Amino acid sequence: MVSTDLPLPAAMRANLLTLQVTQRGMAAAQQHLATGLKVNTALDSPPVYFTAKALTQRAGDLSAMKDAVGQAISTVKAGDKGAKHIGDLLAQARGLTTAALSSLGTDAGSIRTRQNLAGQFDAILDQINRVARDSSYGGKNLLVGDGSKMEATVESKLDVRRIVGVTMARVTDITSPDSYDIRVVGNGEISGAPEGIADAEQQLGLTDLSVSGLMSSTQGNFNNIQISVTGSPGRDKTITVSNPPESYTQKFTVDEWKAAETAGTLPSLDHAFQSGSRVRFDVDFDLIDATPRNVGTRSVEIEKHAVLAVKVTNNQGLTVTRDLMSPLGQGKLANGVNDFVFPSGTVRIEVDGQKLCSRTDPFARGTQIGMDDLRGTGPGFPVGVPVAQAEQYLSVPESTYFQFKLGLPDGNSPGFRNLYVWDTRYDSVTQVTVPNERQTYFPVTLTGSNPNSGSTIRLNIDAFDPATPYAFDFGIPSPVTEGTPGWVGITDTQPHSTGWVGIATNSPILDGMGGIPPFADNVGNMASSASQGVYNLAPESIRGFLPSVNTRLRFQEGLLDSAGPGQATLMVTDDLGRSFQAAVPNAGFTYVDVSFAETDAAPASSMRVGVISRLGTGVGQTLTPFWHDVEIKWPEGTRESASLKTALVTPANHTNDMFVAFDTSHTNGVTVESQNLQIEGKGLHVDYSQNGWMDRADIENAIKGLDTAEQRLRSATQVLTNGMGIITTREDFMRGFSDVLDEGANKLILADQNEEGTNLLTLQTRQQLAQTALGLANQSQQAILSLFR
């Protein structure tokens, strides 16, 4: 800086300023060369600096998004790679169906070959599912769809297991919710396949061959009849007839044959197996010896038929049947899993052949349940039925429990008394007049308007001395009208004898639920207990309890609630530790819906019970709590049909759909939806093998499924390819556009090295000249100073 204290000549001052400006220019040029930027800070050039910075930031945002897009491309590539391998697996599966079609014989070897091929087919489908589920990348899987899932409901699957002979039921390849009515029909009458009988007669030389009988309810089976003949021409014949696991052998000698021939008759074999099958034929040595294979042992198998079928009908009325009357390979019912194909899904029912045969016995509509020596017999219970003859005495279409009340002898009609029969399921009372003497097998035709109306039940009634009142005064309070829920008395006010018994047919009842609970099961005195209790169950309300597994329940009623006069707390606890609690009124009759939550041991369960809660108010009866043990009991072997229902169990979601953003605000982008390439109905819609590929139709169904799967695979691949194309195009655009932005920013701030170098050289030259000029100016000053020396 030029000092103001020392005046300088104008020439020297000008040279000094020029030198200072030159030095600053040189410093700037050196910085440009060192950094490569001509604008390093906002102070260098604010408009240029901020314009370049905006361009650079946008280019950086695009570069970051480009990385995310690159990951999205990898996700789509993972899905595409999985889809390609799924296509390869479908091609392998198609090869198995081709091989199966070439082995369509009904011989054991062909059947075994098809079963092996079906098993391999199922294994490939399992691999398709695994490939689809393993094709995830970065937390996204584009091959598992929206995650929705449909299954047969737990309750309906359990319900189907109540059909005798059915051990399991499920539905696969579900495309839409449906309901399937499953029914077992037929009387089990046995016959032999006509072509098998004709073949046996021709190859073995037998005559008048017949296969007949009725399936045994204890040892019936689906096995075929086998006949083998051993014996050379002119020799004795040994014939063995089998219905595995049973067999029977009979030997026919030449002497027996000659004697029969002389008498003009034929020896015969007539044998009935424990399975119910009966085989009969005549033996003609001449015909046997004339057969082509008349040496050694020759055998023939006759396919056994029986009038026994499983029919499945869906909501649309479509019925698919598999029965024992069908020839092998044409819809024949099998011991094991049987598959029924519908547009909405494949119903797979596993049957136990022997148990299924047992339901061919005459169906007993009334099955005694819930009766013992204290119910329906004895002086306190003069009306009842013998335990051993319950099915014979009580035959009704629907499960219920009956309560019987027998009045005193009628004074207006000496020698008679009134009998009331309450069908608690339908709250219907039938009144009849009975003689005042012991009655055995007394008929009572039920009245009313319900499924049990018109049925005739039989009762045994004890005789009592009409002059002697009954021993027990049960303390029943003022009576209510017959036929109303909670009925505990009849129209007069005299004490009456009572009895009850439960009958289970197609649905369960609660055992232990009577108008008067067993006194031993209650806390408190007898009089109080007599007017309290849980009375009946609506059997159709049973939901979720395990069929054929009896469930014990305890109904416990507490004290009257002082805060809520007129009501008490009812607690219901089952033997799995689940409990339910509700408030019930202390008068009259009410229905309570009892529900239990799902646990590891049992599904969610519920039922509706009728409750009468009357805590006494007399001496010794005030506020007396009680408990009462009962049990849900199921009928055994009486169910002929049930419904299997499918429903959506897992709703759809978009967790695996992938949104790829093309801007920082995520408003512009593309969504790649996850495609379901699993084998389920909502996916590829190709089902597991059906019936072990026993029938040609089963193989053709598999081929149709593969056709559908390949079409859906192509469609899914096109979706993925289209998404890949869009994402790749936008990635290329972002890469190129990012370069353009960077280039534009560089043009604004990058220094030209040649220009900056030239500027530096020019400034250096100017610096040298300025220094020289300043030196000359200084010499002029020295020359003037020398004049004074």
Q: Model confidence over 32-87: pLDDT tens digits?
A: 666 667 666 666 667 766 676 677 766 677 777 788 888 899 999 999 999 999 99
Q: Is the alpha carbon torsion for 52, 55, 56, 57 positive or negative? A: positive
| Element of type H or E holding 739 | helix 696-749
The arithmetic mean of pLDDT across residues 323-336, rounded, is 90
Res 178: pLDDT? 95
> Of the given ranges (406-420, 473-487, 607-621), which has the lowest mean pLDDT?
473-487
Query: Between β-strands 136-137 and 140-141, what pairing exists: parallel, antiparallel or unpaired?
Result: antiparallel
Res 250: pLDDT? 95
**Can you state the percent helix, strand and coil of the chain, rounding each to 5?**
30, 30, 40
Residue-by-residue DSSP string for 393-459? H---SS-EEEEEEEEEEPTTSTTEEEEEEEETTTTEEEEEEEESS-EEEEEEE--SSSTTTT-EEEE
d(CA 643, CA 183): 9
Beta bridge partners of 608: 593
> Of the given ranges (246-260, 640-654, 747-761), which has the lowest mean pLDDT?
747-761
Record the tokens describing residue 218, joined without a space.
Answer: 């204890």
286 residue type, one letter? D
Strands (E), 616-764: 626-633, 641-650, 658-661, 669-672
Which positions ≥6 away from 173 have C-beta within 8 Å?
Answer: 345, 346, 679, 680, 681, 685, 686, 687, 688, 705
d(CA 183, CA 222): 18
Question: Is the pLDDT assigned to residue 113 strictly greater than 80?
Answer: yes
> Of the given ranges (327-336, 400-409, 483-492, 638-647), which has the lowest mean pLDDT?
483-492
The arithmetic mean of pLDDT across residues 106-114, rounded, is 89
- Calculate the alpha carbon distances from 24 to 158, 208, 660, 751 in Å: 95, 130, 52, 17
Residue-by-residue DSSP string for 384-407? E--GGGHHHH---SS-EEEEEEEE
Q: Is the alpha carbon torsion for 658, 663, 664, 666 positive or negative? A: negative
Beta bridge partners of 445: 456
- To the nearest whole number, what is the mean pLDDT of the chain? 77
Res 379: pLDDT? 44
Question: Is the pLDDT assigned to residue 287 strictly greater than 90?
Answer: yes
| Confidence bin at 243 (pLDDT 50/70/90) | very high
Among 608, 617, 721, residue whose Cα is nearest residue 672: 721
Record the tokens describing residue 453, joined without a space.
Answer: 């109306």
pTM value is 0.60
Q: Is residue 787 exposed (0-12), middle (13-18) or buried (19+ Cβ within 10 Å)?
A: exposed
Question: Is the pLDDT assigned to residue 672 strictly greater than 80?
Answer: yes
Res 561: pLDDT? 66
Question: Is the pLDDT assigned to residue 310 strictly greater than 90?
Answer: yes
Q: Which residue has the higher pLDDT, 450 or 207?
A: 207
The arithmetic mean of pLDDT across residues 523-551, rounded, is 56
3-state DSSP call for residue 225? strand
> Of the given ranges (352-356, 635-639, 752-756), which has the lowest mean pLDDT?
635-639
Res 480: pLDDT? 33
| Confidence bin at 589 (pLDDT 50/70/90) | low
3-state DSSP call for residue 76? helix
93 residue type, one letter? A
Question: Is the pLDDT assigned to residue 609 strictly greater than 60?
Answer: yes
- Calculate the alpha carbon distances from 656 to 64, 65, 144, 674 in Å: 23, 20, 8, 6
Torsion angles phi and psi, residue 25, rounded to 5 = -65, -40
Cα 83 from chain centroid? 27
| Confidence bin at 618 (pLDDT 50/70/90) | very low
Note whether 473 and 380 are within 8 A (CB). no
**138 phi-psi bin (left φ>0, alpha ψ -120 to 50, beta other):** left
Question: Is the pLDDT assigned to residue 320 strictly greater than 90?
Answer: yes
- Calculate the alpha carbon distances from 234 to 229, 237, 630 in Å: 14, 9, 74
Query: Between β-strands 304-306 and 190-192, what pairing exists: parallel, antiparallel or unpaired?
Result: antiparallel
Note whether 662 and 669 are within 8 A (CB). yes
**535 phi-psi bin (left φ>0, alpha ψ -120 to 50, beta other):** alpha
Cα-Cα end-to-end distance for the chain: 31
The arithmetic mean of pLDDT across residues 412-427, rounded, is 71
Cβ of 471: how many Cβ atoms within 10 Å?
9
Res 443: pLDDT? 92
| Confidence bin at 598 (pLDDT 50/70/90) | confident
The domain locations on the chain are 1-36+751-789, 71-148+651-733, 190-306, 364-506, 508-635
Q: Is the alpha carbon torsion for 256, 260, 261, 267 positive or negative? A: negative
Among 469, 492, 490, 464, residue whose Cα is nearest residue 378: 464
The arithmetic mean of pLDDT across residues 22-28, rounded, is 71
Res 121: pLDDT? 95
d(CA 516, CA 500): 9
- What's the CATH number for 71-148+651-733? 1.20.1330.10
Q: Is the alpha carbon torsion for 6, 11, 17, 23 positive or negative? A: negative
| Confidence bin at 520 (pLDDT 50/70/90) | very low
Res 321: pLDDT? 95
Cβ of 222: how many Cβ atoms within 10 Å?
20
Cβ of 727: how many Cβ atoms within 10 Å?
22
d(CA 769, CA 776): 11
Note whether 407 and 492 are within 8 A (CB). yes
Res 313: pLDDT? 95
Cβ of 165: how many Cβ atoms within 10 Å?
23
